[in-house]
Structure 1
Amino acid sequence: MTTASRLPDPYAGNGSANLADILERVLDKGIVIAGDIRINLLDIELLTIKLRLIVASVDKAKEMGIDWWEDDPSLSSGAHRRELREENERLRRHIAELEGHHE
């Protein structure tokens, strides 16, 4: 008996197709991995680390209400332009105020 004949059907065929199917399912449905690490000394909490990992497609993430990358200037060119436009407007108002005080 060979090793290949003992493997279940999902592993016997084209591995890349199976991996692609698994990845498509994960991105379509989403997966959440959560965990907390707490360090206590004599019942005094010294450190808490909360870890959350979500793997999903962009569409699925938006469906779940997760879209933080859209407002992060380092990740979104639209957010960067919006940030620059707001800064420009603040500076123009400030200049107008300064010019109004000098007249």
Structure 2
Amino acid sequence: MTGPARPPAPVGGQQPANLGDILERVLDRGLVVVGDIRINLLDIELLTIKLRLLVASVDTARELGIDWWEHDRWLTSGQATERDDD
């Protein structure tokens, strides 16, 4: 009598990663998704949407020189914004 079939072993001897491991890797290294959507009618461009998505931890983003949330008036208090303007 044979038991249930096992899934094939991972290639290279690595253990399968769980969601937490994958999320940790993405936030540590960053993930960029880029795409463009264009709508044309008779060779006339009606609409262009450019999508740029960066998924990373705050530390990784700062290493890449991205810190827009620190200077955005909608995300900071009025006092911090007034000090930045002086």
Q: TM-score, normalised by structure 2?
A: 0.75
- For residues 66 and 22 of structure 1, the distance between their equivalents in structure 2, rounded to whole angstroms, comes to 22
| Correspondence for 1:81 among 71, 79, 82 | 79
- For residues 59 and 80 of structure 2, the distance between their equivalents in structure 1, rounded to whole angstroms, comes to 22
The number of residue pairs the alignment matches comes to: 79
Residue-by-residue CA offset, 1:11-35 (whole Å, 9 max, x unaligned): 7xxxxxx211111100011000010
**Equivalence for 2:4:** 2
Larger Rg: 1
- Offset of residue 86 of structure 1: 6.5
**Equivalence for 2:60:** 60
Greater fraction of residues in strand: 2
Structure 2 spans left out of the alignment, 5+ residues: 10-14
Structure 1 spans left out of the alignment, 5+ residues: 12-17, 90-103
CA RMSD of aligned residues (A): 2.4
Q: TM-score, normalised by structure 1?
A: 0.64
4+ residue stretches of structure 1 with deviation over 2 A?
82-87
